[in-house]
Amino acid sequence: MGPSIPLLLWLLLSWSCSLQGQYPDYMAYLERQLATLEERMAQCQDQTSRHAAELRDFKNKMLPLLDVAEKEREALRIEADSISGRVDSLEREVDYLESQNPTLPCVEVDEKGTGVGPGNKSKGRRNEKYDMMTDCGYTISQVRSMKILKRFGGPTGLWTKDPLGPTEKIFVLDGTHNDTVFIFPRPRDFTLARTARKAIRVRVPFPWKGTGQLVYGGFLYYARRPPGGPGGGDKLENTLQLIKFHLANRTVVDSSVFPAEGLIPPYGLTADTYIDLAADEEGLWAVYATQEDDRHLCLAKLDPHTLGTEQQWDTPCPRENAEAAFVICGTLYVVYNTRPASRARIQCSFDASGTLSPERAALPYFPRRYGAHASLRYNPREQQLYAWDDGYQILYKLEMKKKEEEI
Ligand SMILES: *[C@@H]1O[C@H](CO)[C@@H](O)[C@H](O)[C@H]1NC(C)=O
Ligand SMILES: *[C@@H]1O[C@H](CO)[C@@H](O)[C@H](O)[C@H]1NC(C)=O
Ligand SMILES: *[C@@H]1O[C@H](CO)[C@@H](O)[C@H](O)[C@H]1NC(C)=O
């Protein structure tokens, strides 16, 4: 390779000399162009090194600032953590204080004996101790878990299984005024359904009002205003007729006038419901209120076969801020909330059988949802509640304990 470079140079030189000889103008032009190029490159280099220097300066200035920003961010994060920790512990404290506060619980064992209730003109025994028919003797200790199943229908409604039914059918009553019950063959069909298109529809002869209906043993139990002049003034005003409707045969099999006058919506926060029907291990119950004592709830035990009222009680549970209720083992549990909706809580219970003592009654909160319960249906077999919360269908699993402390 060695000898080839001088050779190349010599060739180039002689070529350029001969070029210069041949095209002197062109060569001069090329040289000028080269000079300009060189100048520009020099300028460019100059600029680049200046930019590099500026960038270095900038970086040197920014580095400490970045450091500060990073430290501030970390401090903010720590502060946010500690604030949310403090909020959590505050909420726990409030929960604790509320659970310690002796004025809130209004559990009362029914010991009044006979004939104490205001007015006794209604049929059936009033305010007498209830004799249990089953041996169930437990009470709620807490709401163990919540499962949001889906969102279906409007903000208010009712969904339930038949607590007596051998089937897994899901019954859905959407809205506070309608006449069509949707029946899904299995829970899966309901969870997967996006609309009620595939559901079996059963139309009831009279539209329901409110969310107090009950599916029990293949029947839909619900209330309606008895036919009578809307002019008012007659004795039937503010009374309700109970209807027993066979869902498979689609026939009304029985009806009766509920033996209480001057009915008013029992729950302060659920205005459309005039009578709330409930099922437990013992059978059928009704929660209602009358003008006679417009501050507290009444409870009645119904005969599911005849729709007759067997017994009635005046409970100490206030109507104010009540949103729903249910019955377990002969004990009424009333759920309270606020408007606008906040955390729901069982704040009052009334044991018709007189077994549950106030010290033994838990007053649990529902898991945090900030919704309003339009209805709560208890299923004794599953020991869970079917809740309709602002259009969401929710299952609450309950944890139970014995009503009486074991000695
Ligand atoms: C209802 O009250 C009347 C008196 O006010 C009394 O004689 C009657 O025994 C009471 N009935 C019942 C079922 O308590
Ligand atoms: C029942 O609800 C549907 C829509 O959800 C409505 O079209 C229908 O009119 C309602 N029926 C009654 C009797 O209110
Ligand atoms: C339902 O209909 C069947 C057949 O018509 C009848 O045997 C049965 O007694 C009915 N059940 C009720 C609860 O009406």
CA–CA gap between residue 285 and residue 35 (Å, rounded)? 106
Angle ∠(389,347,293) on CA atoms, nearest 5: 100
Residue whose CA is closest, atom 5 of ligand 3? Answer: 249
pLDDT average per 10 residues of sequence, the chain (407 residues): 60 65 80 90 90 90 89 89 78 65 50 42 74 94 94 95 92 96 95 89 95 97 77 61 96 94 94 96 96 95 95 96 97 94 93 91 87 95 95 96 84
Q: Which two tokens stand for residue 216?
A: 């029990």
CA–CA gap between residue 267 and residue 322 (Å, rounded)? 5
Ligand 3 lining (C-beta closer than 6 Å):
246, 249, 251, 253
Distance 248 CA to ligand 3 centre (A): 8
Index of the ligand 2 atom closest to the CA of residue 180:
1
Task: Find where tokens 């099999």 sit.
Answer: 253
Helix (H) or strand (E) holding 146: strand 138-151
Index of the ligand 2 atom closest to the CA of residue 154:
5
Q: Check residue 105 and give its pLDDT.
A: 46
Task: Find where tokens 């180039």 sit.
Answer: 12
Contact 220, 214 (CB under 8 A): yes
Distance 196 CA to ligand 2 centre (A): 13
What is the secondary structure of 328-390 as a DSSP string?
ETTEEEEEE--SS----EEEEEEETTS---TTT---PBPPS----EEEEEEETTTTEEEEEET
Residue 365: strand pairing partners:
345
Q: Check residue 323 and give its pLDDT.
A: 96
The number of beta carbons lying within 10 Å of the beta carbon of residue 354 is 17
Q: Check residue 191 and give its pLDDT.
A: 93
Angle ∠(308,314,319) on CA atoms, nearest 5: 110
Q: Who's near 106: CB < 8 A, 6+ residues apart?
A: 316, 317, 318, 347, 348
Q: Check residue 44 and give its pLDDT.
A: 86
CA–CA gap between residue 211 and residue 303 (Å, rounded)? 20
Q: Which two tokens stand for residue 66?
A: 């970045």
Q: Who's near 95: CB < 8 A, 6+ residues apart?
A: 365
